[in-house]
Amino acid sequence: MLNKYLRNLLDTLLFSNVFIAMCAVAQAMLTYRVLAIPVNGRVLLILGCATLALYNFSMILARPQDPAASPYRRVRWVFRHERSLWGWTGVALLLLSVLGTGLHLLSFALLALMGLMGLAYNLPFIRIAGSPRLTGLRQITGIKLFYIGMMWAMSVVLLPVAEAYHNGFPVAWAAALKWMTCVLMFVVAITIPFDVRDIYQDRHYGLKTIPILIGERKAHALAASLLLVHAAWTGLSDYPAGIRLGLSGISLLCLACIVFPLARKNEYYYFLLLDGMLMLQFLAVYALSPATGP
């Protein structure tokens, strides 16, 4: 009975997208630590609400014809709780609208741009050659991985940095760009296995993802290569020793989980273990590196 309750709790945390919203907050906290920028609680709340709303909206918009017959536990869970998800999404959007007004104008414009990018990824508004109907940007060949990676990098790095800059904190933009590249590389690497898992579903819907274009084996090799480069780059960087050890160590751990998975590749492998690497990065760096700067 206890296992049943724990599993239901875990399903709620993962499939309602609360966990991935927590990961976004953790990644923003990581930005504050790596770049030695003062933590801004408003920005953290905004990122959590925005991530929750966008991920829930994306899931609901991608509703299959018969959700109850889906082979994915997450899809079945989402559409059994669709009304609740709409409610949570509405609350997140309300908080987002209130908190967003406290941002500086350019930071708010950046937030609005990211919101539009998120909608453009999912909502049908363009016609792609060979497609009989309007589609979102996700249908563009090979764009999915890098679009998601760029959205994460802009959200958890550029927004905190921009708001800190407008609050008068001196920002080293070269260091911020370097860190954005690190985040982009890591997010793309851990997203590749999701696309490998969805290869048959994506092919059915006409999505031309990287695994469909180059094959599963080469896609996994690409993820491994990105993680090796990430580990080497961060390990040899000029970050403090604790940060270098935390970042490179988690990259290698993630590489091991992808190449030699000890857990069966079910929803928990993807949404808890792989997505959880975003949280684990934050925890490792905070455990291994003392606070510096303001």
In a domain, 22, yes or no: yes
In a domain, 180, yes or no: yes
pTM, entire model: 0.92
In a domain, 177, yes or no: yes
In a domain, 255, yes or no: yes
Range of the domain at 115: 2-288
The domain that contains 241 carries what CATH number? 1.10.600
In a domain, 279, yes or no: yes
DSSP of the chain, one letter per residue?
Answer: -HHHHHHHHHHHHHHTTHHHHHHHHHHHHHHHHHTT----HHHHHHHHHHHHHHHHHHHHHT--S-GGG-S-HHHHHHHHSHHHHHHHHHHHHHHHHHHHTTS-HHHHHHHHHHHHHHHHHHS--B--TT-SS-B-GGGSTT-HHHHHHHHHHIIIIIHHHHHHHHTT----HHHHHHHHHHHHHHHHHHHHHHHHHTHHHHHHTT---HHHHH-HHHHHHHHHHHHHHHHHHHHTSSS-HHHHHHHHHHHHHHHHHHHS--S-SSHHIIIIIIHHHHHHHHHHHHHHS-----
In a domain, 218, yes or no: yes
Residues 244-271 have pLDDT tens digits of 999 999 999 999 998 887 656 788 888 8
Tell me the C-alpha distance between 11 and 13, whole Å.
5
Our count of domains for the chain comes to 1
Confidence (pLDDT) at 265: 72
Residues 148-191 have pLDDT tens digits of 999 999 999 999 999 999 999 999 999 999 999 999 999 999 99
What is the block-wise mean pLDDT of the chain (294 residues), using blocks of 10 residues?
79 93 97 96 96 91 82 88 92 93 92 89 72 70 86 96 94 95 96 82 72 88 96 94 96 92 74 93 92 52
Tell me the average pLDDT of the chain.
Answer: 88
Residue position matching structure tokens 């510096």: 292
